[in-house]
Amino acid sequence: MIKSLRDLEHIKNSRLPDIRLRTGNVGSNDTLHVLVCTGTGCTSSESRALIEEMVKQLKSRDLQHRVKVFKTGCFGFCKMGPIVMVHPGEIFYCLVEKEDVDELIESHFINGNVVERLLYQDERSHGVAYRRSDINFFRAQNRVVLRNCGLINPEDIGEYIAMDGYFALADVLVNKQPGEVIDIISASGLRGRGGGGFPVGRKWAIAAAARGDVKYVVCNADEGDPGAFMDRSILEGDPHSVLEAMTIAGYCIGAQRGYIYVRAEYPIAVDRLEIAIDEARDNGLLGRNIFGTDFHFDIDLRLGAGAFVCGEETALLRSAMGRRGEPRPRPPYPAECGLWGKPTLLNNVETFANIPLILRYGADWFASMGTEGSKGTKVFSLAGKVNNTGLIEVPMGTSIRTIVFDIGGGIPENREFKAVQTGGPSGGCIPVEHIDTPIDYESLKEKGSMMGSGGLIVMDETDCMVDIARFYLHFSQDESCGQCTPCRVGTKRMLEILERITKGEGTMEDLETLEELGEEIKDASLCGLGMAAPNPVLSTLRYFRDEYIAHIRDKKCPAGVCRALLDYAIDEEKCVSCGICAKACTVNAIRGEQKGRPYFIDRQKCLKCGACLARCPKEAIYTG
């Protein structure tokens, strides 16, 4: 049980040597630490089987005391997973398979020779990177919130404490008044990382001032934006940072109970949170009389069940009470009337993860990063048509170009960069002409998009912007809770128009109707989902109107995506008449003789499903 700052320091000092080995602050020591990523990406790439194999083989060679294997959270470089990092030396191995374990042990762990073939190969410089810091993907980043992800074992509270974990909480409870803490948060300039960017200090002050003897702290971990996974990685890699921050928040506003509302689709995150909460309780960091003070606080989980609208705060609170997640008009805001009608402070995962750092290193340190209006760093999940997909953290104000080309390594197959989509279904697309835009709350809004929670989807010349707009609108339409007419009916009408356009049946008047309807839905909807639903359509209409016009006037999809506007044909030169395409076709639209002349596609029968194109071994089938 930890009852005082001294207890905490005692644990820190006993665990620090281990961690020092990993942070590069220790000289020659015979011990090796092998960190294996067990985030969702690497787990999907079989990292657990890898750990089992490694532990088994180390044991059979009686090396388990000298070479220690640890599970860690996400390193961020998901595409190259499973990732294995060996300390000392921060040797960074990529795409490691079970079959590689023997060689790793014999060559590296026993004889000290790094296995070069498993190192990261930079495609552009053709060089090999030994250390993580040699890799471009990491070089331009500033990992502050993610500092512990890929460093500590998220299922071991001792390692979090060794990295100064829970010291901010101890300091706050023992030495500071709630008002002082809120002042520090306000001075740091931290804004909500969940989307809107509301100043966090102000939110805390409102909740602290709200009258009521029972209050709640809620963490929004319902990361619903498709293409966003930073909250998931924080929960999986550093769950205690969120627990510590929520406890601090509880002290500041006068709450004794916190809830984390987390998506059921994130089983690993749920598991790690449950372990972390148990560990915190066992150590007296949650529960009664924390650090020997008269402050009590405990945290429970509430699981979502698959509804995007539950990311909206009033809907989330209803869902956390076990009801249908339908939003309600504001005011009253949750800070005054939230969970069970009591004042409730609601922040998202990444917002909370910043809090212990601000209190530990000071508001000035935090405010020294970022831009005038947007302080600190931001975690983005970089995905789509970019070479280095994964999780990144950069100071606010970093340009899209730096993110896509320096960190992301550019577009695969040397295709043209077309746009980057931010803010998910509530955001918009930013085209190539604004590639030097520094990313912060204001600049994104100005360009017709928004920060959202931090998904960055890169698109290239083979992505049709009309289809992307249709995709997002279909999403919002499907997820509309149906309470208010503008969202329920309006998005449906917009979707019908977009579907017509992608089939080549649109008219030029449709474009004006889309814009008018979009503006009306934005004005009249009940909650954020409806108010933001037209954004992907309006932003693509603003920057890619030509593409809409090509669909309407020329009946062509310039990117070659919209099926109804494509014709499939077989290149007679390339066809070897193997017959695979004819077998793949479910409507017998492809005919030919087994050996002899090239096959051909009957356009009348063709459903344009593309099954033949996917199967052809000679790439003889093309669209036009």
Q: What tokens does 15 get?
A: 């665990």
Q: What tokens does 316 get?
A: 């989330």
Instruction: Identify residue 341 by its one-letter amino acid code.
Output: G
Complex with other proteins: residue 569 or 580, whichever CB lies closer? 580
| Dihedral of the alpha carbons of 132, 136, 142, 146, in degrees to the nearest 10 | -50
Question: Are the C-beta atoms of residues 125 and 201 closer than 8 Å to each other?
Answer: no
Alpha helices in 435-527 (DSSP H): 441-446, 465-479, 485, 491-502, 508-524
Distance CA 496, CA 505 (A): 11
CB of 156 to other proteins, least distance (A): 7
Complex with other proteins: residue 149 or 169, whichever CB lies closer? 149
CB of 202 to other proteins, least distance (A): 28
Complex with other proteins: residue 174 or 264, whichever CB lies closer? 264
Complex with other proteins: residue 45 or 525, whichever CB lies closer? 45
Distance CA 259, CA 251 (A): 15
For 263-353, where are the E strands, in sequence order? 298-303, 344-348
CB of 455 to other proteins, least distance (A): 7
Cα 523–Cα 526–Cα 530 angle in degrees, nearest 5: 70
Instruction: Identify residue 502 by its one-letter amino acid code.
Output: T
Neighbours of 81 (CB within 10 A): 26
Question: Are the C-beta atoms of residues 291 and 297 closer than 8 Å to each other?
Answer: no
CB of 78 to other proteins, least distance (A): 3
Complex with other proteins: residue 45 or 354, whichever CB lies closer? 45
CB of 562 to other proteins, least distance (A): 12
Cα 260–Cα 351–Cα 480 angle in degrees, nearest 5: 65
Distance CA 85, CA 135 (A): 13
Complex with other proteins: residue 58 or 200, whichever CB lies closer? 58
Question: Are the C-beta atoms of residues 244 and 359 closer than 8 Å to each other?
Answer: no
CB of 303 to other proteins, least distance (A): 6
CB of 91 to other proteins, least distance (A): 18
Complex with other proteins: residue 167 or 266, whichever CB lies closer? 266
The DSSP symbol for 615 reads H
Q: What tokens does 9 get?
A: 């320091």
Complex with other proteins: residue 47 or 188, whichever CB lies closer? 47
Q: What tokens does 568 get?
A: 């499939």
CB of 614 to other proteins, least distance (A): 4
With tokens 């960055």, the residue in question is 456
CB of 463 to other proteins, least distance (A): 6
CB of 181 to other proteins, least distance (A): 29
β-pair type (216-221, 344-348): parallel
Q: What are the residues facing 7 on neighbouring strands?
A: none
Distance CA 26, CA 501 (A): 63
Complex with other proteins: residue 40 or 141, whichever CB lies closer? 40
